[in-house]
Amino acid sequence: ISNPEEYITFYGMRNWDILMGTLVTEIVYVHSKLMIVDDQMCICGSANINDRSLVGDRDSEFCLVVNDIEMIDSQLNGQTQKVGIFCSTWRKKLFRQMLGIQNEQDMSVEDPCSDEFYEYFRRIAKNNAQIYEEVFNTLPNNHVRTWADVNTYTQRSKLRDTDPLISHEKCKKIQGFIVEFPLEFVADDILFPKWTTTEGILPISVWV
C-alpha cells in the first residue's frame, strides 16, 4: 500500500474555552474504549487491545458487547446494507458530536465509508489541529521532532497571549472536538530507555 492514510488514520480530541478572561485548551481524555463494526455490533468498556487486558490473568477489565437484532436499511460504501438501529444511531451521534455537525445538510454521517465523508473527516481534524497549534502552540505536533525541540517550542510566544482577539476568532472556526493525531512527534528520537535504568534492564514483555 503506497499510502496507508487512504485506509486508516488516527485522531485525538481537544477542546477550548475562555477561563478568567484567557483562552485555554486541553486534550479531551476518554478512558473507555469503543469499537463499532459495520453499524451492526459494538464493544465498549475498559479493555485495551494488548496482553495485559486480554490474556485473562492480568488486569481486570469489563466490556459490554452489543449485537444488534433490530435492523434497518442504510448506506455503507455507497451500497444499501442492513445495519443495527442501536449501533448505527450511536455511531452517527458520536460523529456529529466529534465533527461539530449541527445540520445534516452540511455533511451526512449516514455512510462513514464514502470517500466524501472520509475526506471531510480528515479535513476537519487537520484544520482543527492547525488552529490549536497556531493559537496555543499545542503539543504533541508533527513539527517537534525531538525532545530537545520541545523546550524550544514551548518557550515560543503564543498567539493567544500576543493577540487574544484574533486568537478568539480563529478558535470560533474550530468544528467539534476532533484533531489530527501527530504521528511524527519526536520521530527523530530513540525512545527506548537507557540500559542503565530500571526500565532499560526489564524485558519488553513487562510493558506489553
**Residue 208: pLDDT band by 50, 70, 90 thresholds?**
low
- The edge-to-edge listing of strands for the beta sheet with 22-27 is 22-27, 11-19, 178-180
- Residue 80 scores a pLDDT above 90: yes
Cα distances from 107 to residues 75, 90, 100, 140, 167, in angstroms, run 14, 17, 10, 29, 26
What is the per-residue burial (b if ≥16 Cβ within 10 Å, else e) of 54-77?
eeeeeeeeeeeeeebeeeeebbbe
Q: Could you read off the pLDDT of 20-68 as tens digits, one per residue?
A: 999 999 999 988 899 999 999 999 999 988 888 888 888 888 999 999 9
> What single DSSP character describes residue 145?
-
Q: Could you read off the pLDDT of 124-142 as tens digits, one per residue?
A: 999 999 999 999 999 999 9
Residue 207: the pLDDT is 63
